[in-house]
Amino acid sequence: MLSYIIRRLLLLIFVLYGVVTLVFFLIHMIPGDPVDIMLGDYALPGDKQELRQNLGLDRPLHIQYKEYLTGIVTGDLGISIHSKRKVLDEIVERMPASFELMLGAMTVALLIAFPFGILSALKPYGFLDGASMLASFIGVAMPNFWLGPLLIILFSIQLDWLPVNERGGLEHLILPSITLGTAMAAMLSRMIRSSMLEVLGEDYIQNARAKGLKERQVILKHALRNALIPVITIIGLQIGVLLSGAIITEAIFDWPGMGSLLLDGIYNRNYPVVQGCILVIAGIYVLVNLVTDITYAWVDPRVRLS
Protein backbone atom coordinates (compact mmCIF):
# COMPACT_ATOMS: atom_id res chain seq x y z
CA MET A 1 0.00 0.00 0.00
CA LEU A 2 2.77 2.45 0.93
CA SER A 3 4.68 1.83 -2.28
CA TYR A 4 1.46 2.36 -4.26
CA ILE A 5 0.88 5.73 -2.58
CA ILE A 6 4.47 6.82 -3.22
CA ARG A 7 4.21 5.90 -6.91
CA ARG A 8 0.96 7.82 -7.24
CA LEU A 9 2.46 10.88 -5.56
CA LEU A 10 5.42 10.76 -7.95
CA LEU A 11 3.00 10.44 -10.84
CA LEU A 12 1.21 13.49 -9.48
CA ILE A 13 4.33 15.57 -10.11
CA PHE A 14 4.43 14.61 -13.80
CA VAL A 15 0.68 15.18 -14.20
CA LEU A 16 0.89 18.67 -12.70
CA TYR A 17 3.94 19.46 -14.83
CA GLY A 18 1.98 18.52 -17.93
CA VAL A 19 -0.99 20.62 -16.80
CA VAL A 20 1.22 23.62 -16.05
CA THR A 21 3.00 23.40 -19.40
CA LEU A 22 -0.17 22.96 -21.44
CA VAL A 23 -2.05 25.75 -19.68
CA PHE A 24 0.89 28.16 -19.81
CA PHE A 25 1.27 27.99 -23.58
CA LEU A 26 -2.46 27.80 -24.32
CA ILE A 27 -3.29 30.87 -22.24
CA HIS A 28 -0.53 32.84 -23.96
CA MET A 29 -1.87 31.80 -27.37
CA ILE A 30 -5.37 33.15 -26.66
CA PRO A 31 -5.99 36.35 -28.66
CA GLY A 32 -5.96 39.53 -26.59
CA ASP A 33 -3.39 41.53 -24.68
CA PRO A 34 -3.80 42.16 -20.93
CA VAL A 35 -2.08 45.51 -21.40
CA ASP A 36 -4.76 46.63 -23.87
CA ILE A 37 -7.47 45.47 -21.46
CA MET A 38 -5.91 47.38 -18.56
CA LEU A 39 -5.10 50.65 -20.39
CA GLY A 40 -7.73 50.62 -23.12
CA ASP A 41 -7.43 50.97 -26.86
CA TYR A 42 -6.58 54.67 -26.76
CA ALA A 43 -3.52 54.46 -24.51
CA LEU A 44 -0.22 55.79 -25.82
CA PRO A 45 2.22 53.18 -27.24
CA GLY A 46 4.88 54.32 -24.79
CA ASP A 47 2.59 53.73 -21.82
CA LYS A 48 1.70 50.27 -23.13
CA GLN A 49 5.36 49.37 -23.60
CA GLU A 50 6.24 50.57 -20.09
CA LEU A 51 3.44 48.55 -18.50
CA ARG A 52 4.38 45.50 -20.57
CA GLN A 53 7.97 45.77 -19.26
CA ASN A 54 6.78 46.19 -15.67
CA LEU A 55 4.65 43.06 -15.98
CA GLY A 56 7.46 41.09 -17.62
CA LEU A 57 5.37 40.40 -20.72
CA ASP A 58 8.04 41.78 -23.06
CA ARG A 59 10.42 38.90 -22.36
CA PRO A 60 10.56 35.81 -24.61
CA LEU A 61 7.93 33.19 -23.85
CA HIS A 62 10.45 30.50 -22.92
CA ILE A 63 12.03 32.85 -20.35
CA GLN A 64 8.61 33.54 -18.81
CA TYR A 65 7.95 29.78 -18.75
CA LYS A 66 11.25 29.05 -17.01
CA GLU A 67 10.63 31.73 -14.41
CA TYR A 68 7.12 30.43 -13.78
CA LEU A 69 8.34 26.87 -13.23
CA THR A 70 11.02 28.13 -10.86
CA GLY A 71 8.39 30.02 -8.92
CA ILE A 72 6.16 26.95 -8.61
CA VAL A 73 9.02 24.91 -7.16
CA THR A 74 9.52 27.58 -4.49
CA GLY A 75 5.79 27.88 -3.81
CA ASP A 76 5.34 31.13 -5.72
CA LEU A 77 2.49 31.11 -8.27
CA GLY A 78 3.26 34.63 -9.41
CA ILE A 79 1.70 38.06 -8.99
CA SER A 80 -1.76 38.95 -10.31
CA ILE A 81 -1.49 41.33 -13.22
CA HIS A 82 -4.47 43.39 -12.08
CA SER A 83 -4.53 43.34 -8.27
CA LYS A 84 -0.72 43.13 -7.84
CA ARG A 85 -1.32 40.58 -5.08
CA LYS A 86 0.22 37.12 -4.83
CA VAL A 87 -1.84 34.62 -6.80
CA LEU A 88 -1.52 32.03 -4.03
CA ASP A 89 -3.00 34.49 -1.52
CA GLU A 90 -5.97 35.17 -3.80
CA ILE A 91 -6.59 31.46 -4.33
CA VAL A 92 -6.34 30.66 -0.61
CA GLU A 93 -8.77 33.48 0.04
CA ARG A 94 -11.30 32.01 -2.40
CA MET A 95 -10.86 28.31 -1.53
CA PRO A 96 -13.18 28.22 1.53
CA ALA A 97 -16.08 29.51 -0.59
CA SER A 98 -15.42 26.89 -3.29
CA PHE A 99 -15.18 24.04 -0.79
CA GLU A 100 -18.33 25.27 0.95
CA LEU A 101 -20.23 25.21 -2.34
CA MET A 102 -18.76 21.81 -3.22
CA LEU A 103 -19.84 20.32 0.12
CA GLY A 104 -23.28 21.86 -0.25
CA ALA A 105 -23.72 20.43 -3.74
CA MET A 106 -22.39 17.04 -2.61
CA THR A 107 -24.81 17.01 0.34
CA VAL A 108 -27.75 17.79 -1.95
CA ALA A 109 -26.69 15.06 -4.37
CA LEU A 110 -26.26 12.39 -1.68
CA LEU A 111 -29.51 13.24 0.09
CA ILE A 112 -31.38 12.81 -3.18
CA ALA A 113 -29.43 9.97 -4.78
CA PHE A 114 -29.19 7.41 -1.99
CA PRO A 115 -32.90 7.19 -1.04
CA PHE A 116 -34.05 7.19 -4.67
CA GLY A 117 -31.34 4.76 -5.79
CA ILE A 118 -31.95 2.26 -2.99
CA LEU A 119 -35.76 2.38 -3.23
CA SER A 120 -35.62 2.00 -7.02
CA ALA A 121 -33.41 -1.08 -6.64
CA LEU A 122 -35.73 -2.65 -4.05
CA LYS A 123 -38.75 -2.28 -6.36
CA PRO A 124 -37.36 -2.25 -9.89
CA TYR A 125 -39.57 -1.38 -12.86
CA GLY A 126 -42.28 -0.07 -10.55
CA PHE A 127 -43.81 3.38 -10.34
CA LEU A 128 -41.07 4.80 -8.11
CA ASP A 129 -38.37 3.37 -10.33
CA GLY A 130 -39.95 4.89 -13.43
CA ALA A 131 -40.41 8.26 -11.73
CA SER A 132 -36.80 8.16 -10.54
CA MET A 133 -35.58 7.32 -14.04
CA LEU A 134 -37.56 10.24 -15.52
CA ALA A 135 -36.25 12.61 -12.84
CA SER A 136 -32.70 11.42 -13.55
CA PHE A 137 -33.01 12.14 -17.26
CA ILE A 138 -34.39 15.60 -16.54
CA GLY A 139 -31.66 16.31 -13.96
CA VAL A 140 -28.86 15.34 -16.32
CA ALA A 141 -30.39 17.26 -19.20
CA MET A 142 -30.79 20.54 -17.30
CA PRO A 143 -27.68 22.73 -17.68
CA ASN A 144 -26.55 24.92 -14.79
CA PHE A 145 -26.95 28.12 -16.78
CA TRP A 146 -30.66 27.29 -17.23
CA LEU A 147 -31.48 25.75 -13.84
CA GLY A 148 -29.78 28.50 -11.82
CA PRO A 149 -31.76 31.43 -13.26
CA LEU A 150 -34.95 29.33 -13.07
CA LEU A 151 -34.44 28.78 -9.33
CA ILE A 152 -33.67 32.48 -8.88
CA ILE A 153 -36.89 33.50 -10.65
CA LEU A 154 -38.99 31.05 -8.62
CA PHE A 155 -37.55 31.18 -5.11
CA SER A 156 -36.00 34.65 -5.02
CA ILE A 157 -38.08 36.87 -7.29
CA GLN A 158 -41.53 35.26 -7.23
CA LEU A 159 -41.64 33.74 -3.73
CA ASP A 160 -38.94 35.91 -2.09
CA TRP A 161 -37.82 33.00 0.07
CA LEU A 162 -34.08 32.87 -0.56
CA PRO A 163 -31.35 35.43 -1.32
CA VAL A 164 -29.39 35.32 -4.54
CA ASN A 165 -26.16 37.28 -4.48
CA GLU A 166 -22.86 36.60 -2.75
CA ARG A 167 -21.87 34.36 0.11
CA GLY A 168 -23.56 34.56 3.49
CA GLY A 169 -25.41 32.21 5.77
CA LEU A 170 -26.96 28.85 5.00
CA GLU A 171 -29.80 30.48 3.07
CA HIS A 172 -27.28 31.85 0.54
CA LEU A 173 -25.93 28.34 -0.05
CA ILE A 174 -29.20 26.55 -0.83
CA LEU A 175 -29.87 27.68 -4.41
CA PRO A 176 -26.30 27.33 -5.77
CA SER A 177 -25.98 23.93 -4.07
CA ILE A 178 -29.17 22.68 -5.70
CA THR A 179 -28.05 24.08 -9.05
CA LEU A 180 -24.67 22.37 -8.87
CA GLY A 181 -25.77 19.15 -7.19
CA THR A 182 -28.82 18.26 -9.28
CA ALA A 183 -26.96 16.74 -12.22
CA MET A 184 -24.71 14.74 -9.88
CA ALA A 185 -27.75 13.46 -7.93
CA ALA A 186 -29.39 12.28 -11.14
CA MET A 187 -26.33 10.39 -12.31
CA LEU A 188 -25.48 9.01 -8.87
CA SER A 189 -28.98 7.68 -8.20
CA ARG A 190 -28.86 5.56 -11.37
CA MET A 191 -25.41 4.26 -10.43
CA ILE A 192 -26.64 3.28 -6.95
CA ARG A 193 -29.68 1.55 -8.44
CA SER A 194 -27.72 -0.53 -10.93
CA SER A 195 -25.05 -1.44 -8.39
CA MET A 196 -27.64 -2.42 -5.78
CA LEU A 197 -29.55 -4.55 -8.29
CA GLU A 198 -26.36 -6.45 -9.10
CA VAL A 199 -25.51 -7.03 -5.44
CA LEU A 200 -29.04 -8.03 -4.40
CA GLY A 201 -28.86 -11.00 -6.77
CA GLU A 202 -25.73 -12.43 -5.12
CA ASP A 203 -25.85 -15.66 -3.07
CA TYR A 204 -24.57 -14.08 0.15
CA ILE A 205 -27.60 -11.78 0.22
CA GLN A 206 -29.91 -14.79 0.03
CA ASN A 207 -27.86 -16.48 2.78
CA ALA A 208 -28.21 -13.40 4.99
CA ARG A 209 -31.97 -13.48 4.55
CA ALA A 210 -32.04 -17.22 5.20
CA LYS A 211 -30.28 -16.63 8.54
CA GLY A 212 -33.24 -14.57 9.65
CA LEU A 213 -31.62 -11.14 9.51
CA LYS A 214 -33.96 -8.20 9.29
CA GLU A 215 -34.41 -6.81 5.79
CA ARG A 216 -33.03 -3.46 6.93
CA GLN A 217 -29.80 -5.13 8.06
CA VAL A 218 -29.53 -7.05 4.82
CA ILE A 219 -29.97 -3.92 2.72
CA LEU A 220 -27.83 -1.47 4.67
CA LYS A 221 -25.09 -3.71 6.11
CA HIS A 222 -24.59 -6.30 3.39
CA ALA A 223 -25.99 -5.02 0.11
CA LEU A 224 -25.26 -1.31 0.31
CA ARG A 225 -21.68 -1.65 1.53
CA ASN A 226 -20.76 -4.01 -1.30
CA ALA A 227 -22.52 -1.77 -3.80
CA LEU A 228 -20.48 1.28 -2.79
CA ILE A 229 -17.36 0.53 -4.86
CA PRO A 230 -18.55 2.05 -8.16
CA VAL A 231 -20.45 4.73 -6.24
CA ILE A 232 -17.26 5.85 -4.47
CA THR A 233 -15.58 6.12 -7.85
CA ILE A 234 -18.25 8.51 -9.10
CA ILE A 235 -18.24 10.54 -5.89
CA GLY A 236 -14.45 10.86 -5.94
CA LEU A 237 -14.36 11.97 -9.55
CA GLN A 238 -17.23 14.39 -9.02
CA ILE A 239 -15.39 16.27 -6.28
CA GLY A 240 -12.89 17.49 -8.85
CA VAL A 241 -15.69 18.10 -11.36
CA LEU A 242 -17.63 20.17 -8.83
CA LEU A 243 -14.58 22.33 -8.09
CA SER A 244 -13.80 22.96 -11.74
CA GLY A 245 -17.36 22.92 -13.02
CA ALA A 246 -18.69 25.48 -10.54
CA ILE A 247 -17.58 28.38 -12.74
CA ILE A 248 -21.01 28.96 -14.28
CA THR A 249 -22.83 28.46 -10.98
CA GLU A 250 -20.51 30.86 -9.16
CA ALA A 251 -20.99 33.43 -11.91
CA ILE A 252 -24.79 33.14 -11.76
CA PHE A 253 -24.98 33.49 -7.98
CA ASP A 254 -22.01 35.88 -7.62
CA TRP A 255 -20.31 33.28 -5.41
CA PRO A 256 -16.74 34.36 -4.49
CA GLY A 257 -14.97 31.05 -5.15
CA MET A 258 -12.10 29.83 -7.32
CA GLY A 259 -14.43 29.40 -10.28
CA SER A 260 -15.33 33.08 -10.43
CA LEU A 261 -11.66 33.98 -9.87
CA LEU A 262 -10.69 31.75 -12.80
CA LEU A 263 -13.42 33.23 -14.99
CA ASP A 264 -12.28 36.78 -14.20
CA GLY A 265 -8.70 35.76 -14.96
CA ILE A 266 -9.66 34.37 -18.37
CA TYR A 267 -11.71 37.44 -19.22
CA ASN A 268 -8.92 39.86 -18.23
CA ARG A 269 -6.08 37.72 -19.66
CA ASN A 270 -4.63 37.52 -16.16
CA TYR A 271 -2.14 34.76 -16.96
CA PRO A 272 -0.78 34.07 -13.45
CA VAL A 273 -4.27 33.79 -11.94
CA VAL A 274 -5.53 31.40 -14.64
CA GLN A 275 -2.43 29.23 -14.39
CA GLY A 276 -2.54 29.18 -10.59
CA CYS A 277 -6.25 28.30 -10.39
CA ILE A 278 -5.96 25.45 -12.89
CA LEU A 279 -2.85 24.12 -11.16
CA VAL A 280 -4.59 24.04 -7.78
CA ILE A 281 -7.77 22.46 -9.20
CA ALA A 282 -5.73 19.82 -11.06
CA GLY A 283 -3.76 19.02 -7.91
CA ILE A 284 -6.95 18.59 -5.87
CA TYR A 285 -8.46 16.43 -8.62
CA VAL A 286 -5.50 14.02 -8.68
CA LEU A 287 -5.27 13.84 -4.88
CA VAL A 288 -8.98 13.06 -4.63
CA ASN A 289 -8.52 10.22 -7.11
CA LEU A 290 -5.72 8.83 -4.94
CA VAL A 291 -7.91 8.99 -1.83
CA THR A 292 -10.70 7.30 -3.79
CA ASP A 293 -8.45 4.39 -4.75
CA ILE A 294 -7.30 3.96 -1.15
CA THR A 295 -10.90 4.04 0.06
CA TYR A 296 -11.61 0.99 -2.14
CA ALA A 297 -9.51 -1.19 0.13
CA TRP A 298 -11.23 0.16 3.23
CA VAL A 299 -14.77 -0.41 1.92
CA ASP A 300 -14.05 -3.81 0.36
CA PRO A 301 -11.20 -5.86 1.93
CA ARG A 302 -11.09 -7.96 -1.25
CA VAL A 303 -9.57 -5.00 -3.07
CA ARG A 304 -5.79 -4.80 -2.77
CA LEU A 305 -3.74 -1.96 -4.15
CA SER A 306 -0.29 -2.83 -5.43
Kindly state the average pLDDT of the residues 187-192.
85
The predicted structure's pLDDT at residue 233: 75
Tell me which residue of 182, 161, 169, 168 sits closest to 105, measured CA to CA: 182
- What is the per-residue pLDDT across 245-301, written as a single tens digit (0 to 9) for each? 678 888 888 888 888 888 888 887 788 888 888 888 888 887 887 777 777 666 565
The predicted structure's pLDDT at residue 19: 83
Q: Which residues contact 204 (CB under 8 A, 6 or more apart)?
A: 222
Q: Which domains are seen in the chain, by residue range? A: 94-299 (1.10.3720.10)
Q: Torsion-angle region of residue 149: left (phi > 0), alpha (psi -120 to 50) or beta?
A: alpha
Q: What is the dihedral of CA 139, 140, 146, 152, to 10 degrees?
A: 30
The predicted structure's pLDDT at residue 114: 87
What span, in angstroms and rounded, lies between the C-alpha atoms of 216 and 286? Answer: 36
φ, ψ dihedrals at 79, nearest 5°: -115, 135
The predicted structure's pLDDT at residue 248: 82
What span, in angstroms and rounded, lies between the C-alpha atoms of 95 and 191? Answer: 29
Look at residue 113 and tell me whether its pLDDT is greater than 80.
yes
Residue type (1 letter), 10: L
Q: What is the pTM of this model?
A: 0.78
The answer to whether the beta carbons of residues 147 and 182 sit under 8 Å apart is yes
130: confidence class by pLDDT, cuts 50, 70, 90: confident
The predicted structure's pLDDT at residue 43: 67
φ, ψ dihedrals at 127, nearest 5°: -65, -45
